């Protein structure tokens, strides 16, 4: 009973502020029930990928396509994080770099669509252990059913960036990076 109540409270939680209020738990819950997963972050660190790896692997095993758009500015995204994603998720991840060199790319959004609803976690957390756990990072959960226009705006912008302003991270791009 206590576990079910804890899960229900997590599903209703809207604000995550870091320190001892970890965003990673909300993301893990969302990944496991998602029918689609879109991640839009300025950078990826291996430490953060490891935190999400079991749930992402399970989603991939269920043939959920996972799309990730990240930055390559100043080489902050770690190559080992990219390789870990590719090795873990195989063809179930569509991994891309934002490719406009003279424009800042600093989003942090995690978009999940479910059978009957959806969530967007948006705020200050990139994919790193610190950002997803003990760091002071503020994030907010938008429910598709409660804010359909906001959800659509962020989802549409992700689609635009992903398809028209990105470079596919394949083996050649990984070696070049």
Please write the tens of the pLDDT for every residue from 143-162: 999 999 999 999 999 999 99
pLDDT digits (tens, 9 = 90+) for 85-138: 999 999 999 999 999 988 999 999 999 999 999 999 999 999 999 999 999 999
Block residue for tokens 């409270």: 9
The helix or strand, by DSSP H or E, that contains position 124, with its residue range, turns out to be none
Confidence of residue 1 (pLDDT cuts 50, 70, 90): very low
Report the percentage of the chain scoring pLDDT > 90.
84
Q: Note the pLDDT of residue 117.
A: 95
pLDDT digits (tens, 9 = 90+) for 72-89: 987 899 999 999 999 999
- Measuring CA to CA, how many Å separate 40 from each of 2, 8, 19, 69, 131? 34, 26, 22, 5, 14
**Would you say 75 and 173 are in contact if contact means Cβ atoms under 8 Å apart?**
no
3-state secondary structure of 87: helix
pLDDT digits (tens, 9 = 90+) for 157-177: 999 999 999 999 999 999 999
Number of H helices, E strands in the chain: 7, 8
Sign of the Cα torsion 94, 97, 99, 103 reads positive
Q: Note the pLDDT of residue 4.
A: 53
Closest CA to 94 of 40, 45, 52: 40
Q: What is the pTM of this model?
A: 0.92
Closest CA to 162 of 119, 105, 92: 105
Write b or e for each residue in 59-91: b if 16 or more Cβ atoms lie within 10 A of its Cβ, otherwise e.
Answer: bbeeebebbbbbbbbeeebbeebbebbbebbee
């Amino acid at each position: 009973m206590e576990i079910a109540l804890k899960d229900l409270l997590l599903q209703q939680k809207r604000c995550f502020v870091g320190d001892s209020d970890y965003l990673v738990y909300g993301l893990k819950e969302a990944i496991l029930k998602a029918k689609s997963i879109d991640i839009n972050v300025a950078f990826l660190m291996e430490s953060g990928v490891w935190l999400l790896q079991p749930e992402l692997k399970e989603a991939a095993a269920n043939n959920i396509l996972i799309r990730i758009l990240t930055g390559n500015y100043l080489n902050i995204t770690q190559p080992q994080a990219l390789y870990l994603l590719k090795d873990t998720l195989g063809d179930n991840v569509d991994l891309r770099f934002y490719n406009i060199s003279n424009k800042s790319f600093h989003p942090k959004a995690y978009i999940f669509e479910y059978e009957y609803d959806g969530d967007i976690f948006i705020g200050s957390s990139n994919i790193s252990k610190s950002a997803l756990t003990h760091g002071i990072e503020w994030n907010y959960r938008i429910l598709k059913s409660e804010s359909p226009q906001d959800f659509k705006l962020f989802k549409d912008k992700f689609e635009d960036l992903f398809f028209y302003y990105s470079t596919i991270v394949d083996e050649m791009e990984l070696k070049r990076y």
